[in-house]
Amino acid sequence: MNSANTAESIASGAHSINATEPSDSKIPATSQPPLLQVTQLVRHYPLPRTHLCQTPQQVQALQGVDLRVESGRSLGIVGESGSGKSTLARLVMALDTPTAGTVHLLGRDLHRLPAAELRHARRDFQMVFQDPYGSLDPHQKVERIVTEPLQAQGRTSRAEQREQAAQVLAQVGLRSTDLGKYPHEFSGGQRQRIAIARALITHPRLIVADEPVSALDVSVQAQVLNLMLDLQQQFGITYLLISHDLAVVNHLCDEVVVLYQGRIVERGTPEELLFNAQHPYTRALVSAVPRIEPGRARALRAEMAQGAGEALRPMV
């Protein structure tokens, strides 16, 4: 696909969707209130001025995002770097303040809760970060890392915290003896299991996973994704999965929304987006997914070798 034509069609397609806003109107209406409801979420970041009299410029990271996630379901957020995925995750986790809009979890507006109530509400939503090593304190043992959310709540004894830590480690496939180890003693996949155990220890209703397997080997990615599926079936966890990998989203999610320049341009099931994408940007994302074509690499090498041979052939 020609890059100039692609960019032009994406821009025109995004303008059309933003004008008519059919993507947000497709949010299904149900009699039960959703676990997570995001309404017209906006986040603008000011840019530094180059001189005193300049009008302040802004980066429009999110522009009127609407989402709803039912309990026990998984919603995937896909888009390229800079599309607003991580900003959305931070706002859902109440780690940043929106410019406008609301985030309701279990009927509570997270950004209007007093600090003490928000701290208590964090039992119901936890986060798994992209880099399993960077998100774990290398100076702390696994026991302290995993029990940190319980320590923040301050409602359990040290013995109870250790017991719960051993339980969640077993749930993610690790041993209770691992509580006395440091993060550097584990592989990447094991470190991500520790991060998931830390998120599980408060028995949350929602886990926000920001690129949870992108830093892992392909074989380990499947193990972690299968673990997340097993935990969802066992405990009824709801996932908000941030990813740029459509294959990961297809494996884990019931519904997917596509973010482009801070707006939702398309939503649907993974199968609908993979095989029947309507928006030009979604089709560009799908076309960028690597595909295995048997014999293609050999054919390319043969073409390159033939071209090199012709280039080196002496002229007569």
Query: 23-81 pLDDT, tens per residue?
Result: 443 444 455 789 999 999 999 998 888 777 778 788 999 999 999 999 999 999 999 88
Closest of 249, 246, 254 to residue 290, by C-alpha = 246
pLDDT at 191 over 70: yes
> Tell me, what's the pLDDT at 7?
46
pLDDT at 245 over 90: no
pLDDT at 14 over 60: no
Of 32-36, 119-123, 151-155, least confident by mean pLDDT is 151-155
pLDDT in tens, 274-309: 899 999 999 988 887 766 556 655 665 666 666 555
**HSE-CB of 192 using CA atoms within 13 angstroms:** 23
Distance (Å, whole) CA 176 – CA 185: 15
79, 109, 116, 156, 305 from 153: Cα distances, Å:
34, 20, 10, 8, 65
Q: What is the mean pLDDT of residues 183-199?
A: 93
Identity of the residue numbered 188:
G
pLDDT, greater one: 106 or 301? 106
> Tell me, what's the pLDDT at 130?
86
pLDDT at 131 over 90: no
Q: What is the mean pLDDT of residues 189-199?
A: 94
Q: What is the mean pLDDT of residues 245-259?
A: 91
Q: Predicted confidence band at 2 (pLDDT cuts at 50, 70, 90)?
A: very low
Q: What is the mean pLDDT of residues 160-173?
A: 94
> Tell me, what's the pLDDT at 300?
59
Based on C-alpha coordinates, what's the Rg of the chain? 23
Q: Predicted confidence band at 18 (pLDDT cuts at 50, 70, 90)?
A: very low
pTM for the model stands at 0.80
Phi and psi angles of residue 15, each rounded to the nearest 5 degrees, phi first: -65, -40
Percent of the chain residues topping a pLDDT of 90: 62
Domains and CATH numbers, the chain: 59-289 (3.40.50.300)
> Tell me, what's the pLDDT at 252?
92
Of 26-30, 219-223, 238-242, 251-255, least confident by mean pLDDT is 26-30
Q: Is 312 exposed, middle or buried (0-12, 13-18, 19+ CB in 10 A)?
A: exposed
Length of the chain: 316
pLDDT in tens, 211-237: 998 888 888 888 999 999 999 999 999
